[in-house]
Amino acid sequence: MLTIGKLSKATGVKIPTIRYYEQIGLLASPVRSSGNQRHYDHAAQERLAFISHARDLGFPLDAIRELLSLSDRDEHACATADDIARRQLAAVKARIARLNALQVELQRMLDHCHGGSLSDCRVIQVLGDHGLCRHDHGRAA
Amino acid sequence: MLTIGKLSKATGVKIPTIRYYEQIGLLASPVRSSGNQRHYDHAAQERLAFISHARDLGFPLDAIRELLSLSDRDEHACATADDIARRQLAAVKARIARLNALQVELQRMLDHCHGGSLSDCRVIQVLGDHGLCRHDHGRAA
DNA sequence: CTAATTGCTCTAGCAACTATAGCTTCAAGA
DNA sequence: TCTTGAAGCTATAGTTGCTAGAGCAATTAG
């Protein structure tokens, strides 16, 4: 049995975050000691590790909630999990594409900045006039 | 002079967002009509376009506030703007690197998922055990 | 036994908006 | 001129995923 502090150290999830997960129903309320302190078993630690790992991979809490609920009904669970992961991968890919476009734009902007006063500043100019951009970074994605 | 709706259409910034920018002091309070409606001039439109464009490039509102305030004192403004943009570029690069690692991990997870029941599901397995990952996607960056 | 540490609950705050409710004003047609 | 529908107004609350702080109670090490 672990206290919340031990659990936090074991999983790398901060204490308020663990309590937050309990609050939103992602983690079951654990048993309490006589002095009202939370005590966690091994299953809770595994579940929290799962959550933490999925969060690291960028899964939103709702997706994680769904993944966890799959444990109940085993039928076609893998296909569903696969689908959730696939969507997450698509979202990551889209973000990468968008960030790559932004990176190019920012670099281009910086390459033409050579100090001087504000009126000559390429950074300010580019930000003020979308027409100076090579890409359609906004609006899409 | 533009109403808020026209300004919204002209810049692509949603009406509540425009009011929000005014509320947080990023956009000056415009003149009001006799019936208390906002009316914007061309300068306001340019300022909003600047904000919108910088947001598209991922600049946080605080950085934009700083960029806008540079207009006041012209001295060394470009160097400051350059610095802000440079930081933004570094942040974008870091996010790309992290997302690339996540993408690889998610793809690897999906490549080994072949349907079946939950107990065989690679997606669930990988999420449950960080040791199955090739990269240290979490904790860093 | 006492002091330091850890734990508890509750509230508020962060970014950057978005949505809702309930109202007023404006513009155009009959 | 009246009316109707669109557009505008304020104010509050919700979103996501936490984090920080206040003010206590419980536990543990020396």
Distance from CA of B130 to the nearest CA of A (A): 7
Burial class (CB in 10 A: 0-12, 13-18, 19+), B122: buried
- pLDDT of B132 reads 73
B62: helix, strand or coil: helix
Of A37-41, A57-61, B100-104, B122-126, least confident by mean pLDDT is: B122-126
CB-to-strand D contacts below 7 angstroms: A 3, 14, 16-17, 20, 33-37, 55, 60-62; B 3-6, 8, 15-16, 19, 36-38
pLDDT digits (tens, 9 = 90+) for A76-135: 667 788 888 888 888 888 888 888 888 887 887 777 766 555 556 777 777 877 777 666
Q: Write out which nucleotides of chain C lie closer than 7 A to a protein Cβ.
A: 6-10, 15-20, 24-26
Say how far apart CA B129 and CA B124 lie, in whole Å: 9
pLDDT at B91 over 90: no
Say how far apart CA A13 and CA A48 lie, in whole Å: 8
Instruction: Please state the domain extents for chain B.
Output: 1-59
Do residues B70 and B80 touch, judged by C-beta distance below 8 A? Answer: yes
Residue A74 CB contacts under 8 Å (≥ 6 apart), including other chains? B117, B118, B119
Question: How would CATH label the architecture of A1-57?
Answer: Orthogonal Bundle (1.10)
Residues B106/B112/B116/B120 CA torsion (nearest 10 deg): -90
DSSP string, B69-101: HTTT--TTHHHHHHHHHHHHHHHHHHHHHHHHH
Nearest to B37 by CA among B3, B14, B66, B13: B3
Closest Cβ–Cβ partner in A67, A78, A127 for B50: A127
Nearest to A56 by CA among B136, B88, B68: B136
Q: Which CATH class is domain B1-59?
A: mainly alpha
Q: Is A40 left (phi over 0), alpha (psi -120 to 50) or beta?
A: beta
pLDDT digits (tens, 9 = 90+) for B32-84: 999 999 999 999 999 999 999 888 888 889 988 988 887 656 666 677 888 88
Q: Which two tokens stand for residue A92?
A: 């990551």
Distance A35 CA to D26 C1' (A): 6
B1: helix, strand or coil: coil
- pLDDT of A121 reads 75
